[in-house]
Chains A and B, each alone.
Chain A
């Protein structure tokens, strides 16, 4: 039977020759990821349900990445990392990236990729809705709650309903001023924040194949903002180069069958997409950057799993070099590897760090989720009043970055950098052409 990539992965993971959308299958899990916000509750359920001395189903398949509330004085947050640490010791888990150690990484979705835990054709569940980021690697990857995660910890399986697939195809090549963030904000504006609910969102076409892994990750990262269960992209040499540089493990990618069925199909000419912004308070309130030129900002923010990768900082630096920001601009890298890259990567002989410092940005090198989701009151970059912020992050529901009075506009690193310089929402073409 003809199958999509998502169907093929779930068929293989459940030991079936084929599956159809709507089938309930028990999928064997290749990787379970959890972090400091949902890990302690997951561990609590695991112990309650399987017993105080129970062992996880497979030590090598559990990955624990503290990343949310790390650089804070909040006692409970530290207590939560202690719970993770103790569990890792008890269970002797090899894949733990401890706070305060050289192994500390930062934002889990980027760390998973950088540490070789994202492999084509596999099944990844994580206790975080942006686990769908790993679909960029041709994985079935999706977010789950603590109870489901505890079930996996004990059994290595989860019952999954096979989602129908929506296919989005982009022909040609995206213009140089456009980023994957613009593309996904454009799509979410088109289908709405629930347009992909219960569905797989598959991206294809020549323009997608031309994207770097980091840009593909941005695209898949935000399918959850369209309600999607997972995002997925075909693996190619770009994928294999990234993965093989980070893991020696074997993997088996899947390709879509030409006659596989879709519940939605649309093609775009990649050149027609413009720099796109989501207005407060929903990721589907779409406008072009040009249409919002009268919006005055009080701050800008570059960071998170969505917009805090090295490629995102390189893009911001391309716009900011030789410029000064007009509003307070917070920068926080997603992972420690990216912090290092900001120090060493150069544009025109200058490090990204010196470009940002000379532009007047406020930079934290403490890689974490930081203010993307507000967090404890002392979180770097948190919105604590009626700020109007443009951000490379993923959500702008009321109170997402802290105070309910805050207004958050979502945009690409190019657009955020250009807007930070002007102090009003600005189309990055004004700086890039």
Chain B
């Protein structure tokens, strides 16, 4: 995904939203690289969250919410890549949280499914579910279009070009780290330190 501005409805969550809430384990029988199972994962995104309206409405495959605003330690728990993939497959574009669990953040970048934005301050009280908001990835701002409040975000830094490229492999290919044709001699991959790391 490549974007400079992400605009859409906001879904609001609290602290420590773990991977079992993002995609409950019973749906891990779905394989993300199989196209119809990728779509199906999206339909279950965040269905494990308690006491909140559904992220994906019942009977639908896509979410009306492009942006998730959350608290601390978003995506803690399992290493399942199904988690950022489910949100991305549902049509989520970005998460704005105070902090992330390490593997979830890395999986967002490696897959290019989601922009995992960090905020220097707690934002969950500045939004209600359904607000319209706009993220400007160049200006590093999040604007609540209902209240007009303009909030600053931490720059994504080295992670952004990887997500812009569509994930780790496409980024590595564009930057000559692996050959652009298939069957590359990747064993001679040139290590470059610009790739984002956790």
Contact = CB atoms under 8 A, between A and B. Distances in A.
A374 B31 contact: no
A413 interface: no
Contacts of A399: 20-21, 24, 48, 50
Nearest to B82: A41
Contacts of A121: none
Interface string B165-198: 0011100100000100011101101010101011
Interface string A140-152: 0001111110110
Nearest to A394: B77
Looking at chain B's contact residues, the main secondary structure is loop
B26 A377 contact: yes
- Tier of interface size on chain A: 35 or more
Contact of A376 (B26, B169, B191): B26
A93 interface: no
A154 B16 CA distance: 34
Contacts of B48: 398-399, 404
A46 to B, nearest CB: 9
A227 B77 CA distance: 8
A147 B111 contact: yes
Given A145-B103, A198-B198, A374-B24, A193 B50 contact: no
Interface in A155-200: 155-157, 159-161, 193-194, 197-198
A53 interface: yes
B33 A44 contact: yes
Interface in B78-106: 78-82, 99, 101-103, 106
A175 B21 CA distance: 37
A48 interface: yes
A282 B109 CA distance: 26
A74 B26 CA distance: 10
Given A127-B79, A157-B191, A40 B169 contact: no
Interface in A276-333: 282
B26 A145 contact: no
Interface stretch (A76-84, A108-116, A420-428): A76-84
A397 B18 contact: yes
Interface in A200-229: 224, 227, 229
B48 to A, nearest CB: 5
Nearest to B173: A49
A159 B29 contact: no
A159 B197 contact: yes
A374 B26 contact: yes
Q: Which one of B32, B48, B72 has the greatest number of beta carbons of chain A within 10 Å?
A: B32
B67 interface: no
Nearest to A195: B73
A366 interface: no
A417 interface: no
Contact of B16 (A68, A74, A397): A397
B79 A128 contact: yes
Contacts of B72: 194
Contacts of B111: 145, 147
A155 B169 contact: no
Interface string A388-413: 00000001011110101000000000
B187 A129 contact: no
A127 B178 CA distance: 22
A374 B101 CA distance: 21
Given A145-B103, A155-B186, A197-B73, 17 more contacts: A38-B80, A44-B33, A51-B182, A51-B183, A129-B77, A144-B79, A146-B81, A148-B106, A159-B197, A160-B197, A193-B76, A227-B102, A229-B198, A282-B16, A395-B20, A397-B18, A399-B20
Interface of B: 16, 18, 20-21, 24-26, 28-34, 48-50, 72-73, 76-82, 99, 101-103, 106-107, 110-111, 167-169, 172, 178, 182-184, 186-187, 189, 191, 193, 195, 197-198
Interface of A: 24, 26, 37-38, 40-41, 44-45, 48-51, 53-54, 57, 68-69, 74, 76-77, 80, 83, 126-129, 131, 143-148, 150-151, 154-157, 159-161, 193-194, 197-198, 224, 227, 229, 282, 373-377, 395, 397-400, 402, 404
* Top 7 A-B pairs, shortest CB-CB distance: A44-B33, A145-B81, A143-B79, A147-B110, A145-B107, A76-B29, A51-B182
